[in-house]
Amino acid sequence: MGQGSGSEFVEKLFRMVEDPANFRYISWSADGKSFVIGSQEEFSEVILERHFKHKNWSSFVRQLNKYDFYKIKNDAVKCMGSVWTPWEYKNRYFQRGRPDLLSKIRRKKAPSEMGAGEDSRPKQIESSIVYQSHVLSSIRSISKYLREVVEDINELKRAIYCERQGVTARVNVLCIRETGSMPECFVEALRSPGYALTVVDGKCGIESVMRWGYNVVVMHVVSAYYGVLVCRIRDASKDVPIILAVDEGFRDEYLSIGSSDVAEVFMAPFDANELAESISRYGRAGCLCKDSV
């Protein structure tokens, strides 16, 4: 570790998070100031067994608590009817690329180890700060939810207005496929008379295709190359909604990588009706935005 010289547990944890081979199970958050575990079961089965010679998740969490790591509350992610909540932990001295800070992470003293005259006020202050941070995080989540509700209401109002005015604009849909074939349920979702559909290969010049202007982009995802395609789409258009349909063979790897610049993600097996409803919803919103310009 060089500059680290922290406890054996903390240094081993740091090496685990830094190792690219473990990114499917444990990785840094976007800002590198916390780490995220995607699946508790897979992490216990693979990582704990490999590095700690046991599969006891509760024991691992107790160790985190002993070294003052605290859990960050995350919103649940809904994937085709099932709910998945990532596990995220943080310690202010546990940061990506900063092994020099590990020596500052100390094991918390048990009550029996503390002297009778030891001042506990710093710990109380720190606990209060953590609690306030959690409260603020909850407030931000509620505010975000309320903003989304308002946006949904406004979208519904616009849709009703357009319907009353007799607006029947077709939705221009761009479908990007990474391979030559797509699942039948995926193809079925695209068979709508209300769509003006264009299907292109992921290797084509996306930037030139995007010049024609689309209301929504749908992508069949089978590999990590989807991240490159999302960036290329965003270079051409900052606002067009992007919907990902993740293939079953790439599902687990996608969950360990994720994507932050898309409108909605569907996991295989796909429900054709739900996928079609999403395409229509985002496509209509795209039509309304263009009409208002």
The pLDDT of residue 104 is: 93
Residue 113 lies in a domain: no
Q: Distance of alpha carbon 1 from its chain centroid, rounded?
A: 30
With residue 154 as reference, give the H or E element that holds it: helix 121-164
Which residue in this structure is represented by tokens 């360990």?
256
The pLDDT of residue 111 is: 60
Between 99 and 120, where is the model more confident? 99
Answer yes or no: do 176 and 126 share one domain.
no
Q: At what angle do helices 272-292 and 121-164 cross, to 10 degrees?
A: 80
Q: Which domain holds residue 87?
A: 8-108
Q: Distance of alpha carbon 218 from its chain centroid, rounded?
A: 18
Is pLDDT above 70 for 65? Answer: yes
Domain harbouring 262, CATH code: 3.40.50.2300
Residue 277 lies in a domain: yes
Answer yes or no: do 87 and 185 share one domain.
no
Q: Is the separation of the CB atoms in 55 and 49 below 8 Å?
A: yes
Share of the chain above pLDDT 70, in %: 84
Section 20-26 average pLDDT: 92
The pLDDT of residue 166 is: 44
Answer yes or no: do 177 and 285 share one domain.
yes
The pLDDT of residue 150 is: 87
Answer yes or no: do 174 and 155 share one domain.
no
Answer yes or no: do 66 and 146 share one domain.
no
Asked which of 207-211, 220-224, 225-229, 265-269 is least confident by mean pLDDT, the reply is: 207-211
Residue 3 lies in a domain: no
Is pLDDT above 90 for 102? Answer: yes
Instruction: Read off the pLDDT band of 293 (50, 70, 90).
Output: very low
Is pLDDT above 50 for 1? Answer: no
Between 46 and 185, where is the model more confident? 46
The pLDDT of residue 86 is: 84
Residue 2 lies in a domain: no
Is pLDDT above 90 for 95? Answer: yes
Answer yes or no: do 157 and 178 share one domain.
no
Answer yes or no: do 142 and 96 share one domain.
no
* Whole-structure pTM value: 0.41
Distance CA 11, CA 20 (A): 16
Q: How many domains does the chain have?
A: 3
Residues near 189 by beta carbon (within 8 Å), at least 6 away in sequence: 270, 272, 273, 275, 276, 279
Q: Which of 76, 108, 140 is the last residue of a domain?
A: 108
Listing DSSP states for 169-196 in one string gives PPEEEEEEESSS---HHHHHHT--TTEE
Residues near 64 by beta carbon (within 8 Å), at least 6 away in sequence: 89
Answer yes or no: do 32 and 103 share one domain.
yes
Section 195-205 average pLDDT: 83
Is pLDDT above 90 for 43? Answer: yes
